[in-house]
């Protein structure tokens, strides 16, 4: 039966990456708890599973590497080796190799085969080390099989049809093993014709002493067959070990049945010729090397030109790449059946409510208004619950983002000669899959900064009276409709004076300008601030912080910092749970409604006449508490008719993005509500200054403003509609 196994490959890869994760976290923990046998068993089991399954799907390279890892792990498990940093290091390197091999098996990425070979050799060296120790201790020795000992030419010829005598005294517990002698005779019969079957009842005890579940019988079978002894012997595979078994040919004693079992049914022509001694392996290889690729042959035969072939090859390569990319794009989410069950339940409720309303409308009279209101309320409740449940499908524990960090911190600590422990909590906190994927980069950046620059070298820590080992804490938790993630270290903290001095030097802060604590720390997120400091690493902070901030803001989140010099720094990230729904403020301009994302709004003011000023080079600004904020007249930008063209009559909505504040001029504030983002790119095209559209309660379409986009638009002085 031909069965295509490739359809199960996706599951295999998914499973393997889970195992890889188990191995990685396990190894990292083992370093601190080397005596934890259960942990070691877990790691071993994961490696063992990958090994076994990779074989099933024909990924030999994966199998070979994991096999060697498994052997070393087994050595650790049996106390033949000790858990040392070197072994963990080596195993982690092997794991990296394994990851790349899995990628290759998946059809993307590349593996450094040389490096993997080296790792394999090292793994073997460890394993052999224990083998040697075992030998020296007089323990059992691993059997060495000399496969070259049996010359291929001496293979016994296929025997003719003859009568083979088989004597079988089975083990008494035959039945308790689920074995059935009848099955064995059936199988023998399939190999030829059973000539005679003799039952030997000598061992049968007297009736009172007899145990009905024990096999006392033995058998002698004369089988007429042309099959080799090996095949007959194979029938007894599962019973041979504890049975007495003799299989005899009628004539001269035969050489014992070969132990090499399970040859491939399909053999290549060359292999057969070599086996039969017609040619040697060397001859075969020389001839094989003469084989040509189809492209070369076609060119030689002048069927097509070499350039055409090159083109076709390029196309092939391109197609491969595309196919690979497509494979990468199809992401799936595993959803618990309980979640789906609940959804189906809810759908049922919705259908019921809907039919009740349909019923009501058919025979509606005015006195039924309260009833109608009740139904509408019910409908609302159900749809809200439905919304929450559907959202929860996209929710994943943040663990998927966190899991890479222990390894990273370990590597960074070794590289920097520091001692750092990473304490993670709240890994089970759930948030939207897209948000999780997008938060990995900023988090990596923050943690790397903490490990590289925040945590001091050991000597320095001791001098300051701190524990030698530095701590980085990573925490996630829900708060209202948001998720908060904090990255905290007990390192040296930010240096107030240095930051301020640098900012002044860069002209970001005017001399004598009064700055609050918060404002100073926010300076590190300013673009340009970091790049200018790359060389000197201001207190180790600020490398690409503007990028971190921008990334988080693009997710609709915010990032803040708290620090105490000499004691540590804490970054606090606040993110929406999902990107599909946002809290928005509906504003009106003329007859149109627009949505301003609530996260970017600082305040709204109706300015007085003397607050409005025009500054050369900055244009129209509003003066707010000694701050001049540029004003964007949205009706101008969008080229629509507004009710008010005088800011004093309208409302200024103060928004902030990427450290820049602007005031958006609108006619009035309508109200705050949750809106579902509909993509413009998918349905129309990307429009500068708009993040998307949504449908309001009254059925009208409203655009959602993209605040960072608006700010850059206003800077360039162009209007949206050209």
Partner 1 sequence: MDKTVLVVDDSVSMRQMVAFTLKEAGFEVIEAGDGKEAVAKLNDGAKPNLVIADLNMPNMDGITLIKEIRTMRAHKFTPILMLTTESAEAKKKEGQTAGATGWIVKPFNPDQLLQVINKVLPG
Q: Which residues bind partner 1 (CB under 8 A)?
A: 1, 3, 5, 8-9, 11-12, 14-15, 42, 45, 48-49, 51-53, 55-58, 63, 67, 175-180, 182-183, 186-187, 213, 235, 237-238, 241-242
Q: Closest distance between partner 1 and the C-beta of residue 106, in Å?
A: 13
Q: Is 295 exposed, middle or buried (0-12, 13-18, 19+ CB in 10 A)?
A: middle
| Nearest approach, Cβ of residue 691 and partner 1 (Å) | 40
Question: Could you tell me which of 264, 263, 282 has the C-alpha nearest to residue 274?
Answer: 282
Given the complex with partner 1, which of 144 and 294 has the nearer CB atom? 144
Least distance from partner 1 to the Cβ atom of residue 69, Å: 13
CB of 8 to partner 1, least distance (A): 5
- Residue 348 token pair: 């049922």
Q: How far is the CB of 327 from partner 1 (least distance, A)?
A: 17
DSSP 226-238: -S-HHHHHHHTTT
With b meaning 16 or more CB within 10 Å and e meaning fewer, what string describes 340-378?
Answer: eeebeebeeebeebeeebeeeeeeeeeeeeeeeeebeeb
Looking at beta carbons only, is 267 or 318 nearer to partner 1? 267
The rounded distance, in Å, linking the Cα atoms of 379 and 372 is: 10
Q: Where does 363-495 have alpha helices with state H?
A: 369-393, 399-402, 405-416, 433-449, 458-463
Residue 27: CB minimum distance to partner 1, A: 18
Q: Which is nearer to partner 1, 213 or 285 (CB)?
A: 213
CB of 180 to partner 1, least distance (A): 5
Q: Between 186 and 674, name the residue whose CB sits nearer to partner 1.
A: 186
Question: Is the Cβ of residue 176 or residue 354 nearer to partner 1 in the bound state?
Answer: 176
Report residue 484 as tokens.
Answer: 């908060």
Q: Which is nearer to partner 1, 186 or 287 (CB)?
A: 186
User: For partner 1, which is the closer residue by CB, 179 or 508?
Assistant: 179
- Least distance from partner 1 to the Cβ atom of residue 53, Å: 6
Cα separations in angstroms, 56 against 3, 120, 332: 13, 21, 23
- Rounded to an integer, what distance in angstroms lies between the CA atom of residue 188 and that of residue 239? 14
Q: Provide, rounded to whole angstroms, the least separation between the CB of residue 239 and partner 1.
A: 9
In the bound state with partner 1, the residue whose beta carbon lies nearer, of 146 and 237, is 237
C-alpha distances in Å from residue 405, one per residue of 250, 467, 477: 70, 22, 18
Give how far Cα 85 sits from Cα of 27, 46, 410, Å: 10, 20, 11
Give the number of other CB atoms < 10 A from CB of residue 64: 16
DSSP 494-531: --HHHHHHHHHHTTSS-TT----HHHHHHGGGSTTHHH
Q: Minimum Å distance from CB 11 to partner 1?
A: 4
Question: Contact, 582 vs 601, CB < 8 A?
Answer: no
Give the span between the Cα atoms of 201 and 184, in whole angstroms.
18
Give the H or E element holding residue 120.
helix 113-136
> What gap in Å lies between CA 665 and CA 642, rounded to an integer?
10
Strands 612-615 and 430-432, sheet pairing: unpaired
Provide the minimum distance between the beta carbon of 397 and partner 1 in the complex, in angstroms, as a whole number: 19
Nearer to partner 1, 113 or 213 (CB): 213
Residue 114 CA to residue 92 CA, distance in Å, equals 17
Q: Which is nearer to partner 1, 235 or 503 (CB)?
A: 235
Q: Please say which residue, 244 or 320, places its beta carbon nearer to partner 1.
A: 244
């Amino acid at each position: 039966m031909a069965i295509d196994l490739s359809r199960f490959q996706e599951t295999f890869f998914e499973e393997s990456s889970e195992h890889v994760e188990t191995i990685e976290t396990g190894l990292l923990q083992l370093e601190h708890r080397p005596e934890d046998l259960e942990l070691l068993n877990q790691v071993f089991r994961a490696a063992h599973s990958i090994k076994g399954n990779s074989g099933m799907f024909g990924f030999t390279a994966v199998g070979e590497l994991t096999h060697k890892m498994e052997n070393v792990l087994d050595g650790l498990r049996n106390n033949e080796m000790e858990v040392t940093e070197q072994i963990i290091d080596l195993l982690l390197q092997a794991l990296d190799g394994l990851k790349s091999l899995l990628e290759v098996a998946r059809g993307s990425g590349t593996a450094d085969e040389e490096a993997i070979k080296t790792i394999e050799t090292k793994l073997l060296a460890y394993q052999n080390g224990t083998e040697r120790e075992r030998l020296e201790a007089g323990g059992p020795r691993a059997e060495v099989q000399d496969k070259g000992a049996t010359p291929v030419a001496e293979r016994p010829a296929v025997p003719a049809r003859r009568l083979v005598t088989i004597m079988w005294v089975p083990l008494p517990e035959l039945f308790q093993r689920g074995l059935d002698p009848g099955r064995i005779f059936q199988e023998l019969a399939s190999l030829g014709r059973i000539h005679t079957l003799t039952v030997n009842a000598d061992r049968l005890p007297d009736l009172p002493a007899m145990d009905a579940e024990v096999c006392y019988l033995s058998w002698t079978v004369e089988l007429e067959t042309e099959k080799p002894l090996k095949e007959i012997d194979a029938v007894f595979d599962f019973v041979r070990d504890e049975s007495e078994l003799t299989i005899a040919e009628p004539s001269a004693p035969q050489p014992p049945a070969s132990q090499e079992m399970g040859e491939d049914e399909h053999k290549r022509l060359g292999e057969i010729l070599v086996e039969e001694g017609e040619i040697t392996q060397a001859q075969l290889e020389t001839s094989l090397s003469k084989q040509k690729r189809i492209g070369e042959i076609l060119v030689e035969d002048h069927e097509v030109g070499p350039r055409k072939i090159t083109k076709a090859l390029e196309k092939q390569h391109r197609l491969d790449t595309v196919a690979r990319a497509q494979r990468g794009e199809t992401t799936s989410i595993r959803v618990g059946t309980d979640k789906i069950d609940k959804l189906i339940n809810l759908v049922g409720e919705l259908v019921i409510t809907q039919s009740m309303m349909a019923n009501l409308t058919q025979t509606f009279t005015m006195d039924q208004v309260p009833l109608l209101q009740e139904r509408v309320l019910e409908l609302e409740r159900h749809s809200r619950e439905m919304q929450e449940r559907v959202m929860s499908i996209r929710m994943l524990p943040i663990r998927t983002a966190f899991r890479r960090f222990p390894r990273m911190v370990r590597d960074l600590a070794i590289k920097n000669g520091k001692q750092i422990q990473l304490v993670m909590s709240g890994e089970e906190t759930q948030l939207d899959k897209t948000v999780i994927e997008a938060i990995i980069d900023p988090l990596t950046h923050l943690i790397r900064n903490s490990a590289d620059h925040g945590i001091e070298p050991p000597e320095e820590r001791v001098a300051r009276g701190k524990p030698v080992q530095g701590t980085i804490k990573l925490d996630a938790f829900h708060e209202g409709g948001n998720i908060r993630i904090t990255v905290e270290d007990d390192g040296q903290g930010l240096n107030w004076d240095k930051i301020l001095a640098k900012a002044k030097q860069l002209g970001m802060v005017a001399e004598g300008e009064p700055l609050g604590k918060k404002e100073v720390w926010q300076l590190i997120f300013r673009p340009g601030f970091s790049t200018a400091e790359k060389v000197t690493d201001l207190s180790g902070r600020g490398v690409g912080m503007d990028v971190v901030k921008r990334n988080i803001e693009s997710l609709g989140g915010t990032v803040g910092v708290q620090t105490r010099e000499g004691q540590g720094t804490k970054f606090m990230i606040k993110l929406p749970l999902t990107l599909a729904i946002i809290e928005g403020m509906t504003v009106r301009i003329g007859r149109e409604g627009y949505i301003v994302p609530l996260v970017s709004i600082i305040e709204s003011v109706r300015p007085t006449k003397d607050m409005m000023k025009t500054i050369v080079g900055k244009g129209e600004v509003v003066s707010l508490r000694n701050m001049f904020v540029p004003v964007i007249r949205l009706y101008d930008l969008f080229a629509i008719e507004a009710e008010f063209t005088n800011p004093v009559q309208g409302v200024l909505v103060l928004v902030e993005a990427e450290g820049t504040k602007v005031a958006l001029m609108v006619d009035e504030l309508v109200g705050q509500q949750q809106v579902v983002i509909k993509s413009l790119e998918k349905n129309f095209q990307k429009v500068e200054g708009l993040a998307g559209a949504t449908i309001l309660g009254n059925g009208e379409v409203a655009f959602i403003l993209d605040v960072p986009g608006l700010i850059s638009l206003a800077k360039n002085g162009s209007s949206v509609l050209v």
